[in-house]
């Protein structure tokens, strides 16, 4: 699954991972509609307490993702 991530999907998945609340601050950004739906369908992000967050599978996908050389 992670090998199927596009660079754009991997970028936004990293943004979600890095945006986790720190001391109550939220990083607000808008994920492109098509990317958002793919990441939801793949189970890499989810809604939790009215915030989009990365799932454990999403973290694993980022760890396995190899950018093109």
pLDDT tens across 35-55, in order?
999 999 999 999 988 888 999
Given a cut of 60, whether residue 8 has pLDDT beyond it is yes
State how many domains the chain has. Answer: 1
Please tell me the pTM assigned to this model. Answer: 0.80
Angle at 57 between CA 37 and CA 32, to 5 degrees: 25
pLDDT tens across 19-35, in order?
876 655 556 788 999 99
Residues 6+ apart with CB under 8 A from 12: 31, 32, 35, 36, 39
pLDDT at residue 4 in the model = 82
Structural domain contains residue 18: yes
Structural domain contains residue 35: yes
Given a cut of 70, whether residue 11 has pLDDT beyond it is yes
Structural domain contains residue 69: no
**% the chain with pLDDT above 70:** 84
**Segments forming the whole domain that contains residue 41:** 2-64
């Amino acid at each position: 699954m992670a090998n199927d991530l596009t660079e754009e999907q991997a970028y936004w998945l990293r943004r979600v991972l890095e945006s986790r609340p720190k001391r109550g601050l939220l990083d607000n950004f808008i994920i492109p509609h098509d990317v958002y739906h793919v990441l939801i369908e793949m189970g890499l992000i989810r809604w939790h307490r009215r915030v989009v967050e990365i799932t454990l599978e999403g973290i694993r996908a980022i760890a396995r993702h190899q950018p093109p050389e």
